[in-house]
Amino acid sequence: MNDSQNDTPHDDSAPCVSSNGSGTAHDFNLLVIGSGPGGEGAAMQAAKGGYRVAVAEKHPLIGGGCTHWGTIPSKALRYAITSTMTTLNNPMFRQWGLRFSPSMKQLKQGTQAIIAKQVNMRQSFYERNNVPILRGEARFVDDHTIDVDGQRYTADHFVIATGSRPYRPPNVDFDHPCIFDSDTILDLDTKPHSITVYGAGVIGVEYAAMFRNLGIKINLVNTRDKLLEFLDDEIIDALSYHLRDQGVIIRHNEEFESLDGCEGDSGAVMTLKSGKRLKTDIVLWANGRQGNTDTLGLETVGLEPNSRGQLVVDDQFQTARDHIYAVGDVIGYPSLASAAYTQGRAASMHMLGRKDGNLRLNDIPTGIYTSPEISSVGKTERELTAARVPYEVGQSNFKSLARAQITGRTVGILKLLFHRDTKELLGVHCFGANASEIIHIGQAVMNQPAPNNTIEYFVETTFNYPTMAEAYRVAALNGYNRLF
């Protein structure tokens, strides 16, 4: 692996020639637009399958929004906040007289180093697999040609993996120094006393929890009647309770009417349609995403994004044009970096003729980095009840686990949903520290062929002690005790 950053484009003076089957020579078998997780997954899979591949990237550094504005920097900041505040709130350190209030600049110090490591690592992937990076903004010229800053390239297939950006309504002044979106909030250098977060989706609740851990007063404005409705109801209730317990003010069923920045940088006032007016030091607009498709010239190839700039694809990630695929945030839900990478691989495997690629696209786990974390895979109680599936529940409260008691992270629950007759595992839901790691044990068992996909595995398997994984044994036994 090359640890030195190399942004020099590859020499494309002698590209390998491919054909689209009609005798027309093309520069590449596959040209990927965007170097985020979806684009990387597609490029690497196709290159390893023998395709001549290139990637167009308009930004100076590869990695896409995931690396530079979303997942990596936000999770690095979250870790810095969580670890710092855990230490500062430790009674032992308080007894020693440790008192410290970190600034935003101090908390973000390590982020750029992490981003640089990610860029260097991903650059080495492209170099080792002989995938050139075409620097510049890509735009379709015709069905098999794109223009990248004046240079034209042709390809048999294309994968659009241009990602998304925060949705910005026209009546909100994002140039005001107190109004931010989920990209620009990472540039915040001073710690505000209060924040209004508009939008209680995954991004909104993650930032609300993150900033509340710093002692910042939070208004979380939700346009729906409950948080994260796609989650299991019990997990939703637990999240709502703990956010409120930490001091977050949650305002459900509210709609934005206007947002006015105060003179200078003295805060902003949000007016809601209910008549409420919220004045805070800053406002974080976290209500929706917009697909990055407006500059691609899609009209040239007969593709039309929806009102949010997203493309419709089939189960193989093909758009209305069979040779043009789209993956990642640009196709909408679930808008996860993990899902985008798998989608990219699946698209390339389809164009390579390997349709049985064994890529599990229907059991993608959620990973929500609130405090504590939330992760789930499979069906919820609500879905199983609606489908009239006779299920039972097994639970393990983290407060009863020795490992949680040792670490002091006792808030949380692991919940197993299983068929009461076959004992087949139907859903796994976790709320607590390391939930996004813990979930994969249940995911692995749930995807085994019958009869190996039951809670019998957890009952009959010895888990290390003390561990958080032991929660599976406790939850399975708890569920067994409900059967009769």
**Which residue positions form the known binding site for NAD(+)?**
199-206, 288
Q: Residues forming the annotated binding site? A: 75, 162-164, 199-206, 288, 329
Buried/exposed 141-159: b ≥16 CB within 10 Å, e otherwise: eeebbbbbeeeebbbbbbb
In angstroms, the CA 313 to CA 316 distance is 7
**Residue 230 in contact with residue 381, Cβ under 8 Å?**
no
What residues contact residue 328 under an 8 Å CB cut-off, 6+ apart?
Answer: 34, 36, 37, 38, 39, 161, 162, 163, 335, 339, 340, 343, 344
Give the sheet arrangement for strand 425-432, strand by strand.
Answer: 366-368, 374-378, 425-432, 412-419, 391-397
Residue 385: what are its φ and ψ, rounded to 5°? Answer: -65, -45
Task: Respond yes or no on whether the N-terminal peptide bond of residue 91 is cis (omega within 30° of 0).
Answer: no
The residues that bridge with 80 in the sheet, in sequence order, are none
Element at 119 (helix H, strand E): helix 111-128
Residues in the chain: 484
In angstroms, the CA 109 to CA 484 distance is 57
**Residue 290 in contact with residue 309, Cβ under 8 Å?**
yes
Q: Residues forming the annotated binding site for FAD? A: 75, 162-164, 329
**Residue 303 in contact with residue 319, Cβ under 8 Å?**
yes
Q: Tokens 């925060």: give the residue.
A: 166
The residues that bridge with 158 in the sheet, in sequence order, are 31, 324
The residues that bridge with 378 in the sheet, in sequence order, are 427
Pick from 475, 476, 350, 335: which is nearest to 412 by CA? 475
Pick from 62, 61, 58, 64: which is nearest to 148 by CA? 58
Q: What phi-psi label fits residue 60: left (phi over 0), alpha (psi between -120 and 50 degrees) or beta?
A: alpha
